[in-house]
Each structure stands twice: as structure tokens, then as C-alpha cells.
């Protein structure tokens, strides 16, 4: 139930974020006196709407975003409206360039504000840095075999039962056998294990779905339980993917030692948030540059290949991750994922390509520069860019983005990224 709740909460957060994106366009447009005729959340058939002043507000049946109609944003849109003489000066393209730029960029700026505020809350009151005490404890745990058990794991065995786990996952074998967080595994199948590496090596030699005796030290008392390892994929020393046995455990670190350092406070948090935002922007640009190279492994993952943690995810995949984070009570990670998503959408939307806002901004500035050059040469103003000539390129971008979206959605359904492997 927590998993489903997390998915719904994350999807709702995305819808609210996108709706506020369009609200940013509308708010700035109205502030500059432009004529805004419609603001809707969703697409498709209208479920409910009302008029306030000259603007119609409402909800549509497909909750996958929203839109705002500003008269004259393109020549095509202007032709669709009956503009009175009194409203002619309120048409979008007749406004100063700086005002048009602000309106077009307002959507991305809204995403940046949302991401910054959420990140500031984390940095100030929760903390996102690694606690040195936690790092030391985690390093020390590598030399022990104390484990934390996963309630649900992703298995390559499609016929395995799922129990109370999300679709595509099964109940963790160690969890099902009654091994508790903090228990120290001392032997597997009669073979003694002394550290984490020896545990991994011993379990990897087992046969998936064949029960094995596992001895653990539980609060100073030895007990032996029967565990049925599941089949998982892992990379071997040669870089090849092979099927191995796993128990569904990870290194245990005492939860009394928090992973995240405590928040730095609201004042110091401002500077740290700017620093972290700068780092995240840098990583986002790097990720955008690497995006084409991620398509082949994403395609391979659909047909049975390993799904890398660094491959792109769709809204479906991000929502599933959000669901897992709520399921495992990882609310800080949940909020951080929203921060990353808002920053990414904000930056991506400013790329100088139609139909993104960045494409409209690029055209507006191109028109300004072209008019300035014409004036310097004593030639007449060439006027506005003919959007009809740009439609083939616009459609090509839409097809590419649509294809990429379908690819990521398919991968997120067939071979999703999960928190616990």
C-alpha cells in the first residue's frame, strides 16, 4: 500500500509542478498586460471550467500536464483569435523583447524555484551530506557480516511468487526466512563466512531456488534457518552479465547513526543550496550531453539486457522509484528526486529547439538581431520569422522526443530500475 501511495504522490507532485510551470507563464504574461485567454490543467476533453475576467480556467480529462493560451505567441495563434483594436497592443509579439523573454522563461524559472526551495529545506533541516560517522560505520561493516534484509527484491525468475511486493519483485529470501536487520551471518551451506566479500563469493556459488542452511548470530544466539536464494543478474570479473544466487541482503549499518548529516540551518542552508544547485546544474548538462549514448543500452534493457542505474527514466520510472522510496521510508530521497526532476525539466525546456520555450526565446532574439542588422544596413525590417517554414523541424523534434519517451516508458515497464537489487 505504501508503494502505491508513493507512486500516486510522486505523479501528483509532477502534475502540480508542470501546472505551476504554465501558471508561471500566465502570471508573468498578465503582469505585463498580455491577453491570456485560457489556463487548463490536463489535456483532452474539458471536465470543468469557469471564466474569470477574460481568462477561462479549468481541468481536462488527461492529467498529463497543462497549457496556457497567450494571444499572439506565434503568428499561427494570432490568426485564431479575434483581436479588438483595444487589445492589439496586448498581443504577445508586440511587447518588448525583454518582457517576452521573461514570460517564455517563466516556466523553467518556476521549476528552478520549486527545486531550490525543496533543496533548501533538505539542506537546512534534514541534511544531504554523508555523515562521517555513518561512513566509518559502513566501512567497518564491510569486515563483518551483519546484514540488512530487503523485504522485496527484483528477480530474473518471472515465475517466482511476488507475495505482498510490487509487480516484478518477489519477497526477499532472507526476509522470508526470518533473518532480522543486524543479524550476523556466520555460515552459508556449511561454509564459514568472515566478511562481506566472502559472503558474496559463497552465495554466488549457490544454485538459485535451491534451499540452503544459513547460520546467523542473533543478539549473541546462534540459529540456523533455511533460505531459498533467488536468481539475480550480476557483472563478473570479465564485465559479462551472468545469473547468480542472492539472499536479498545488504551491508548493515546501525540505524542509530543517521546516513545524512543534520541540517546546517536556514541561513547557512542558503549558501549550501546555491553550491549544490550549481553542482546539480553541471551534472544535468553533462547528462544531456551523454543522452545519445544511453539510448543503445536502454534499448538492450528492453530485450533482456541489464538495466543500468544511469540510464534515463520516464515519468513512469520516476514515479515507481518514488513509490519505492515511500515504501522504504526514504522521504529525503523522494524529495531529492523531485529536485533533480524539476532542475532537469527546467534546463531541458530552455534548449533552443521548438516546441520548447527555449526555441521561442531563440526565435524572438533572432528576430531582434535580424531587425537590428537590417536597420544598420538601411534595409526594411524583415519582420517576424515564418513559423510555417520551421514546422518540419518542429515535427522532427516532436517525433524524436515522442520516440524517446516511448522507449523510456517501455524500459520502465519491462525492466525498471529499483532501489533494491
Distance CA 249, CA 176 (A): 12
CA 411 to chain centre: 14
| Residue 67, burial from CB neighbour count under 10 angstroms (0-12, 13-18, 19+) | middle
Backbone angles phi, psi at 39, to 5 degrees: -140, 115
Of 224, 223, 225, 229, which Cα lies nearest the Cα of 248? 229
CA pair distance 333, 355, nearest whole angstrom: 32
Task: Determine which one of 22, 148, 324, 367 is catalytic.
Answer: 22
347 touches 286 (CB < 8 A): no
Annotation says 22 is catalytic: yes
Taking the C-alpha atoms of residue 242 and residue 233, their distance in angstroms, rounded to an integer, is 6
**CB–CB of 145/195 below 8 Å?**
yes
Q: Among residues 276, 10, 16, 342, which one has the least CA distance to residue 124?
A: 276
Cβ neighbours for 365, distance < 8 A, ≥ 6 positions apart:
97, 101
Just list the catalytic residues: 22
Amino acid at each position: 500500500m505504501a508503494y502505491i501511495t508513493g507512486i500516486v504522490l510522486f505523479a501528483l507532485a509532477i502534475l502540480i509542478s508542470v501546472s505551476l510551470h504554465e501558471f508561471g507563464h500566465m502570471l508573468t504574461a498578465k503582469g505585463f498586460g498580455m491577453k491570456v485567454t485560457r489556463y487548463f490543467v490536463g489535456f483532452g476533453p474539458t471536465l470543468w471550467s469557469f471564466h474569470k475576467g477574460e481568462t477561462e480556467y479549468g481541468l481536462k480529462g488527461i492529467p498529463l500536464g497543462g497549457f496556457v493560451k497567450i494571444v499572439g505567441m506565434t503568428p499561427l495563434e494570432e490568426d485564431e483569435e479575434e483581436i479588438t483594436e483595444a487589445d492589439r497592443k496586448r498581443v504577445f509579439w508586440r511587447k518588448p523583447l525583454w518582457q517576452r523573454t521573461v514570460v517564455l522563461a517563466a516556466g523553467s524559472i518556476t521549476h528552478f524555484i520549486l527545486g531550490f526551495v525543496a533543496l533548501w529545506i533538505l539542506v537546512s533541516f534534514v541534511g544531504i551530506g554523508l555523515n562521517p560517522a555513518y561512513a566509518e560505520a559502513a566501512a567497518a561493516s564491510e569486515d563483518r557480516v551483519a546484514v540488512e534484509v530487503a523485504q522485496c527484491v527484483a528477480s530474473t525468475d518471472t515465475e517466482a511468487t511476488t507475495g505482498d511486493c510490487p509487480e516484478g519483485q518477489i519477497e526477499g529470501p532472507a526476509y522470508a526466512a526470518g533473518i532480522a536487520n543486524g543479524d550476523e551471518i556466520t555460515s552459508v551451506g556449511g561454509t564459514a563466512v568472515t566478511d562481506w566479500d566472502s559472503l558474496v563469493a559463497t552465495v554466488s556459488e549457490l544454485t538459485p531456488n535451491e534451499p540452503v542452511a544459513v547460520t546467523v548470530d542473533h543478539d549473541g544466539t546462534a540459529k540456523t534457518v533455511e533460505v531459498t536464494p533467488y536468481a539475480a543478474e550480476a557483472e563478473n570479473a570479465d564485465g559479462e552479465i551472468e545469473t547468480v544466487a542472492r539472499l536479498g541482503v545488504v551491508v548493515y549499518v546501525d540505524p542509530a547513526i543517521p546516513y545524512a548529516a543534520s541540517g546546517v540551518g536556514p541561513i547557512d542552508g542558503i549558501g549550501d543550496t546555491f553550491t549544490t544547485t550549481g553542482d546539480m546544474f553541471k551534472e544535468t548538462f553533462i547528462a544531456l550531453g551523454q543522452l545519445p549514448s544511453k539510448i543503445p543500452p536502454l534499448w538492450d534493457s528492453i530485450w533482456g539486457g541489464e538495466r543500468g542505474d544511469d540510464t534515463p527514466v520516464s515519468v513512469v520510472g520516476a514515479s515507481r522509484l518514488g513509490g519505492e522510496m515511500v515504501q522504504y521510508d526514504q522521504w529525503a530521497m523522494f524529495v531529492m528526486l523531485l529536485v533533480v526532476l524539476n532542475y532537469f525539466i527546467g534546463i531541458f525546456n530552455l534548449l533552443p529547439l521548438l516546441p520548447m520555450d527555449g526555441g521561442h526565446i531563440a526565435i524572438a532574439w533572432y528576430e531582434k538581431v535580424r531587425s537590428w542588422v537590417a536597420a544598420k544596413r538601411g534595409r526594411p525590417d524583415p519582420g517576424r520569422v515564418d513559423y510555417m517554414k520551421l514546422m518540419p523541424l518542429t515535427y522532427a523534434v516532436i517525433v524524436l522526443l515522442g520516440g524517446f519517451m516511448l522507449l523510456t516508458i517501455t524500459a520502465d515497464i519491462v525492466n525498471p530500475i529499483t532501489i533494491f537489487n
